[in-house]
């Protein structure tokens, strides 16, 4: 991928263009055609991304709006665990930005592999689950291995 494409992808993902990616993936969610019946939601869910920069920033979520994505420093991640299967309907009740019965937050773009992260301190933490193509690689980066 050329530097121009990296900068364009970074801009689209909401990441500073001077950053170097340690991990980056971007895709169009497979549930996007379903949103054709609600066209005002198309810009919100147009792209899904997962990015870790050399500046220790983790970003994941949908499109460009800040309400649809999470941006945290990797220092805030207590533990990252790879998940073999994140099943949208079975585990989360659907696709998109979801909450489960434990009040964990899911950014569920598709069925398949993902990552579970604990963010915060022992006293106050939150769990996020999100899809990614290479969960083992991403977890090793987030866990500092």
Cβ-based neighbours of 82, under 8 Å, separated by 6 or more: 113, 114, 115, 135, 136, 138, 139
**Could you tell me how far CA 24 lies from the centroid of its own chain?**
10
Confidence (pLDDT) at 140: 96
Do 6 and 18 form a contact (C-beta atoms < 8 A)? no
Least confident interval from 41-45, 112-116, 121-125: 41-45
Give me the sheet containing 48-53, strands edge to edge: 21-27, 48-53, 57-62, 69-73
Q: Does residue 98 contact residue 108 with C-beta atoms inside 8 Å?
A: yes
Residue 17 has pLDDT above 60, yes or no: no
Mean pLDDT of the 105-117 span: 96
Asked whether the beta carbons of 131 and 109 are under 8 A apart, the reply is yes
pLDDT tens digits for range 35-68: 677 777 666 667 889 999 998 899 998 876 555 5
Question: Using one digit for the tens of pLDDT, what is the confidence trace for 71-88?
Answer: 888 889 999 999 999 999
Whole-model pTM? 0.77
Listed by start position, the domains of the chain span 3-142
Q: CA 136 to CA 132: how far, in whole Å?
A: 10
């Amino acid at each position: 991928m050329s530097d121009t494409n990296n900068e364009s992808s970074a801009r689209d993902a909401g990441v500073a263009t001077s950053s170097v990616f340690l991990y980056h993936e971007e895709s169009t969610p497979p549930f996007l055609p379903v949103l054709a019946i609600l066209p005002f939601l198309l810009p919100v869910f147009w792209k899904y991304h997962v990015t870790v920069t050399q500046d220790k920033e983790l970003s994941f979520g949908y499109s460009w709006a800040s309400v649809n994505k999470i941006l945290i420093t990797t220092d805030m991640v207590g533990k990252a665990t790879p998940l073999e299967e994140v099943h949208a309907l079975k585990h989360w009740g659907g696709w998109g930005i979801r909450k489960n019965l434990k009040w964990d937050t899911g950014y569920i773009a598709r069925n398949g592999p993902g990552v579970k992260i604990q963010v915060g301190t022992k006293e106050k933490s939150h769990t996020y689950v999100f899809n990614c193509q290479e969960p083992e690689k991403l977890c090793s980066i987030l866990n500092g291995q």
